Structure 1
Amino acid sequence: MDVSHEQATVLVNQVQRSHRLLAGFYQRILPSLDDISANFGAHFWYWSPIAFDRPCMGSTKPSRKWGWDYLPLVASQFLYVRSDTTDPVFIELRLHTDPAILPGQRSPKGEPAPANLPDAEPALRIYLYWLVPGSSVDIKSEWEEVEHPGGEADSVSRLSENLWGTWMDIPLANHIVAPQETIARISKHISLPTSVS
């Protein structure tokens, strides 16, 4: 494909603005995820991309990887845990800035072509987990053994002998405008710890 100098200049300037916009977006959204979990006494555990790989190591030729691998936050999970109380909880926040690229939404073959993806509403998918009353197992270990909660949003599922869970989707624009609404929705299922051990 031939590109004129003028077209190339427009393209690289758009890329530059896009990177700056993304950096500003992440500077705003990432602390809001920490704030959600802090309201429930949960602490950061780890994060990872959910639709693609992390960017490659320095010794890997970048052109051998998918371009999407260089956008790890486009679909990513952030895990927070409150395990030092008598009321442990696990909060999994999934940032779906482009749901069209999620597995199950895109073709399972080959790298998704950005120009061919349909529009999809960005969302914050939230999975919540808590122990069955009277259970004393480690919530992280229990979480690692179960599938995500199913059923309708906000319905409670018994995921194992010791673990309950639910899920919900919050339109990402709604969360940005009113994060307190996200916290209120979560608080229907989990609350601040009642005591600290």
Structure 2
Amino acid sequence: MNNSEMDDLFTQIRTAHRLLAAYYQRLLPVIESIALEADTEFYFWSPHRFSPPGQSNANPFKKWQWDLLPAVVTRYVFKHVNDLKRITKGDYIIEFLVVNDSGIDDEKSKSQPDALTLKVGVNEARSILKLAVYRAVQDEDSDFYKKWNSISYSDYSDSIDVQLDHKFVTAGFEVPLNLLMSDSGVHTVKAKIDQYLLITQEAVSAYSADNGV
């Protein structure tokens, strides 16, 4: 690689970092605003595909380099919970699973994926937002997080299919991530969340009627 090609490479790297910063400056406030309008508060976030970079004393040379890009496939979890030490009927979680590159998410192996030889090219890969609502169907003296964390992921199917899992009703959907880049798209996502909140609430009422709780 000659000097001109090297200069072009680092121009692209600087551009990529700035574009990503601008993208997250748009994405994260939108996700937060959607969640707050759904009467939830921030609970936690975590990388979904790789590991977090770790503390300052974690040796980055012993980790996967993908771990330096923790937001490539990420969970953002918001809660409407009365008491985390127990479960109250109607408590709910809204989870945003942001898949910026489906080609990376689909790359399953025990070794670190090679960024330059991924099976799915960038043009064929998709950027997806997966959303799910998890709502408790009855009161229970159990740690909320432990109980909720034992639930299987929603199937995110196009048809609304409420599932019962570990005394939580769950329902999810997926949309193109680019919907969050426009006001009309954000309105669409908010409307679908409202729909799923209503559906899961109705499922809780039906469960209570059927089981006398």
Separation of aligned partners in 2, 1:76 and 1:12? 27
Q: 1:80 touches 1:90 (CA, 8 Å); kept in 2?
A: yes
- Count the aligned residue pairs: 185
Q: Which runs of 4+ in 1 moved over 6 A?
A: none
Secondary structure of residue in 2 paired with 1:73: coil
Secondary structure of residue in 2 paired with 1:47: strand
Separation of aligned partners in 1, 2:156 and 2:34? 24
Q: 1:52 touches 1:72 (CA, 8 Å); kept in 2?
A: yes
> In 2 relative to 1, CA 59–142 (structure 1 residues): closer, same or farther, beyond 3 Å?
closer
- Residue 71 of structure 1 aligns with an amino acid whose one-letter code is L
1:126, CA displacement in angstroms? 0.8
Alignment partner, residue 87 of structure 1: 90
Separation of aligned partners in 1, 2:156 and 2:98? 20
User: Are 2:116 and 1:111 equivalent residues in the alignment?
Assistant: no
1:152, CA displacement in angstroms? 3.0
1:82, CA displacement in angstroms? 0.3
Higher helix share: 2
1:20, CA displacement in angstroms? 0.5
1:134-157 CA-partner distances (Å, limit 9, x unpaired):
x12365443122111237343111
Q: 2:48 touches 2:74 (CA, 8 Å); kept in 1?
A: yes
Identity of aligned residues (%): 25
Q: 2:132 touches 2:156 (CA, 8 Å); kept in 1?
A: no
What does 1:58-77 align with in structure 2 at a 5 Å threshold? 58-77=56-75
Q: Which of 186, 192, 200 in structure 2 is aligned with 1:185?
A: 192
Q: 1:95 touches 1:125 (CA, 8 Å); kept in 2?
A: yes
> In 2 relative to 1, CA 190–139 (structure 1 residues): closer, same or farther, beyond 3 Å?
farther
Alignment partner, residue 125 of structure 1: 130
Q: 1:157 touches 1:165 (CA, 8 Å); kept in 2?
A: yes
1:86, CA displacement in angstroms? 6.5
